[in-house]
Amino acid sequence: MNKMPLDVYRGVAQRAEQLVSPEQVAATCDAMAARLTALLGDKDPVVLCVMTGGIVPVGLLLPRLNFALRLDYAHATRYRGATQGGALEWLHRPTAIRGEHVLIIDDIFDEGITLDSLVTACHEDGAASVTTAVLVEKERTRSVAYRPDVVGCLVPDRYVMGCGLDYKSYFRNASGIYAAASEDV
């Protein structure tokens, strides 16, 4: 993982356009939690945080989910350091989901391939049901038919960062959702 020089980081931050404010993120999480409670409040689900981007949305959502649940994680990658995805590689595939209601939480629904693969894997492993939630969905055409069950907010098809989404391994900690300037992409 390469370190970004501080002047580059500051330039990217200054040029970025805020798409979703921190206040809108909070309201979005409240709405997502209400929908998830309606769907899963009586099911005692296993929540799978999709690593690494799902850490922030899970951290924002869990305190809003006032029902019995257990937390685990899934870690799969298609990129392995490249700029385009390839075949899905499991770094951690949960094993204790047979007969369980599963809630998968991720930061973004972009191409949809990873989330679709995770849902398929959960069904193959015997999950009783699989529900998915993403904080952000890009408005774009996709090659997969799968759609998330709960979507926080829609953003344009631009390079986005913040609230778990990264830009060259940085900006996951930004409290809003930002689009990188075209000169930085």
* CA distance linking residue 125 with residue 79, whole number of Å: 24
pLDDT digits (tens, 9 = 90+) for 60-92: 999 999 999 999 999 987 665 444 556 778 888
pLDDT at 94: 86
Query: What is the residue-averaged pLDDT of the chain?
Result: 93
> By CB neighbour count within 10 A (0-12 exposed, 13-18 middle, 19+ buried), where does 115 fall?
buried
Does this model's pTM top 0.95? My answer is no
Class of domain 19-179: alpha beta
Q: What is the mean pLDDT of residues 112-139?
A: 95
What pLDDT shows up at residue 86? 67
**Residues 30/61, Cβ–Cβ less than 8 Å:** no
Question: How confident is the model at residue 82, as a pLDDT?
Answer: 45
Report the pLDDT averaged over residues 51-55.
93
Q: How much of the chain is helix, strand and coil, in % rounded to 5?
A: 30, 30, 40
Residue 130 reports pLDDT greater than 50: yes
- Of residues 95 and 44, more confidence is placed in 44
The percentage of residues in the chain with a pLDDT greater than 90, rounded to a whole number, is 83
Task: Give the pLDDT confidence of 152-172 residue by residue, as tens digits.
Answer: 999 999 999 999 999 999 999
Q: Give the start-to-end residue ranges of the domains of the chain.
A: 19-179
